[in-house]
Amino acid sequence: MKNSLLFMMVAIVTIGFCDKATAKPIKVFILAGQSNMEGAGAIKSEPQRNGGKGSLEYLVKDAATAKQFSTLVDSSKNWRTRDDVFISYLDRKGPLTVGFGSKKETIGPELGFGWVVGDAIEEPVLLIKCAWGGKSLAVDFRPPSAGKLPYSLGEKTNAEIAKDPAILGKYYRETLALTKSALANIKDLVPGSDGEYVIVGFGWHQGWNDRISDNFNAEYQSNMAHFIRDIRKDLGAPKMPFVIAETGMTGPEEKHPRALSLMKAQAAVAEQSEFKGNVAFVGTKSFWRTKEQSPSGQGYHWNSNAETYYLIGESMGKAMIKLLSPGKN
């Protein structure tokens, strides 16, 4: 009897060990960009701000949108926390829920993106979010293969770069460093993980700081292509699917030549022959909501509209899943 009991105990321990040892690799997605990837979508409904319109609380309660956003709350209308999608964003980490925007009171594209990929993918998911406000692709995220700037930034800035060449591409390298750090600590970030992972895709939402310069604007398509090639090489993921979300703030009525040119450049990257089928462009202009429909009038931050940020992330997630499953679309 004792031998039988001992055998059963050993068998149970062995089965448990095997389950952990054969755990499926964590699917890793990287989300990068500037302040609109950080996210300014207001969570709390504040009456003094257009009656709360455009906030996430308003969206889950308003009859016109409650059904669409119902998956974000439980039966008691409390925010849901995913047990299959986790996020690492600078010094904030944990299961995906609301509050991983630029501040704990906001959301960014990570919420909609994480909800889509979490529902579509069987394995646990880790989102590594690398975003900083006010950063250009031309200077701050400049990829190594883009080389030196082919134009002047003015006497003062030229002198600063001459003194510290590491200014160019600082946030490209920081994105790599944060990603590699998160991957090295994946067991701490994803409960139950055995440390195995697969880098599955990269999402990009950035562009405002390249809209303000003719020179930055003119080389955006080239720089974006260099970025995709370099980040794939440096992460050891040569065919990593890549989704670009349009810098579409101000919506369909946008008329400024540089804004239109930059959006055209973003779309053109996905049409380059080498990127067909592995890079997708997501239009966002239709997600624009006016300041009268939103918590603020900060147009460059999508008027702090949570619906906008969620829809951007949701569309990026759907585009990513399509790239990952080409035969099913």
Q: Give me the residue label for tokens 């995913």.
A: 82
**Predicted confidence (pLDDT) per residue in 129-187, tens digit:** 999 999 999 999 999 999 999 999 999 999 999 999 999 999 999 999 999 999 999 99
| Domains of the chain, start order | 23-328 (3.40.50.1110)
Distance CA 66, CA 14 (A): 47
Measured distance CA(109)–CA(3) in Å, rounded: 57
Does the model's pTM come out above 0.75?
yes
Contacts of 111 (CB under 8 A, 6+ apart): 72, 96, 98, 100, 309, 310, 313
Contact 308, 205 (CB under 8 A): no
Cα-atom radius of gyration of the chain, to the nearest Å?
22
Buried/exposed 120-149: b ≥16 CB within 10 Å, e otherwise: ebeebbbbbbbbbeebbbbbbbbbbebeeb
| Per-residue pLDDT tens digits for 39-60 | 999 999 999 999 999 999 999 9
Residue 12 is predicted with a pLDDT of: 37
Query: For the segment 195-245, what is each residue's pLDDT rounded down to a tens digit?
Result: 999 999 999 999 999 999 999 999 999 999 999 999 999 999 999 999 999
- The identity of residue 44, as a single letter, is K
Residue 302 in tokens:
């999508």
